[in-house]
Chains A and B, each alone.
Chain A
Amino acid sequence: MSFLRLSACCLAVAVFSGCSTLVPPPYSADYQGLDRLKKQPLEKVAVGTVQPRNPDAPVNKITLRGARLAGPNGTFAQYLEEALVQDLKEIAVFDAAAGTRIDATILKNDIDVSGFSTGTGRMDVELTVTRNTKTSLKKTYSATTTFDSSFAGAVAIPKGQAEYGNLVRTLLGKVYADPEFVNALKK
């Protein structure tokens, strides 16, 4: 039985650390922050193509103890763009043709599960709000997260995988709570 158990554990490790690409879970918002934003009188807003779109850009590559984590549609830039659009639709202010637009560029993007007990996430994004060709906000937002990790890769890797959604949620929660961002979108 111990041989079977060892084989099963080895298989689990192999599955997790093998050559398959992992994707983060679907994005879920910080709804309390989003509901606070919903109460503000905001302009309709579009979202530009979040950069960088090159899948080989360093910010679009995350490695979790040898396992590759990638955006579900190829890049983390697209993951962030879809998260932004999803949130703005949720509070009914998204309009792809609006004269006010949010653009964003990911500057740093990493999940680190190299530690045996704690993992960390870090994301920096430069965000710009443009109103009819005039820039009304240009600011860099940073988010860091920490989470319980493990010596075992079979636990640490999926913990890191699951954390990516939380990292994006934390970053966008900071953006939505920033009075400068709210003012840049206010009617």
Chain B
Amino acid sequence: MPSIRFVRLGFAAVVVSLLAACAHPINLEPTKLPERDETKLVAKKVGYVLTDADRAKEVTTPGGGGDKVSYYPYRDMEKAIRASLRSVYQDVSSLKSPSDAVAIKEAGVAYIFLPEISTASSSSSPFTWPPTQFTVNVICTVTDPQGTVLAKVASTGAGAAEFSEFKSDFSLSARRAVAEVVEKLALEVRKNDKLR
């Protein structure tokens, strides 16, 4: 029955190639958000800029077994970045552009945060695709409403997850990394005297 064996082999090859060509989607919603203590907030309004293009940006990085993972870092991390700023400042608003003078004036913000996000992932497993290691870097350029740069704050988060943990949450290492990076971002903003 060499022909049946050939068909089986061909089918397996098609399945493998189809799966290998795809990036597995994960999400970057953090496992934990920075806490907001109403008694320790800086009494200022701030804004952060995320464009529609940022939110639509899909990134693909390595997973395990030669596979890849894909995700939307800006869209998925907006809640976390906002929560990070809300843990420092009284009021936080989203802005579409750093140059939209009308929206900036209307929002009445003192500082404008422009986040840049970069990520990396890897896995020590040859058999499972979810990343066992994930790192995320956030660099925020902070300006006043006129566009003058006041400061740059940066933070890095790293997350790890083993098979026994991520079998029910394939995004776990990434979600842990995001939780760490936004917690550290809040600390960096809080300790910067120019941003009080």
Chain A residues with CB under 8 Å of chain B are: 2, 4-9, 11-13, 15, 20, 25-26, 28-29, 31-32, 35, 38, 150-152, 154-155, 158-159, 162, 165
- Chain B contact residues (Cβ within 8 angstroms of A): what range? 20 to 34
Does B150 make an interface contact (CB < 8 A)?
no
20 further contact pairs, Cβ within 8 A, besides A32-B94, A152-B19, A155-B19: A4-B126, A5-B65, A6-B16, A8-B127, A9-B19, A11-B128, A12-B128, A13-B19, A15-B167, A28-B78, A31-B82, A152-B18, A155-B24, A155-B25, A158-B24, A158-B170, A162-B25, A162-B27, A165-B27, A165-B29
Report Cα–Cα, A12/B66, bound state, in Å: 13
Residue of B nearest to A7 (CB): B127
CB atoms of A158 and B19 under 8 A apart = no
CB atoms of A4 and B127 under 8 A apart = yes
Report Cα–Cα, A12/B75, bound state, in Å: 26
25 sample A-B contacts, Cβ–Cβ < 8 Å, listed by A number: A5-B16, A5-B65, A5-B66, A6-B15, A6-B16, A8-B65, A9-B19, A9-B20, A11-B127, A11-B128, A12-B24, A12-B128, A20-B168, A25-B29, A26-B29, A31-B79, A31-B82, A35-B93, A35-B107, A152-B19, A154-B24, A155-B19, A158-B24, A158-B26, A162-B27
CB atoms of B16 and A155 under 8 A apart = no
Does B76 make an interface contact (CB < 8 A)?
yes
Residue of A nearest to B93 (CB): A35
Q: What are the residues of chain B within 8 A of A11 when measuring CB–CB? A: 127-128
Does B129 make an interface contact (CB < 8 A)?
yes
Contact string against A for B residues 52-72, beta-carbon threshold 8 Å, 1 for contact and 0 otherwise: 000000000000011000000
Closest CB pairs A-B (n = 9): A28-B79, A25-B27, A8-B127, A155-B22, A26-B29, A9-B19, A31-B94, A8-B65, A35-B93
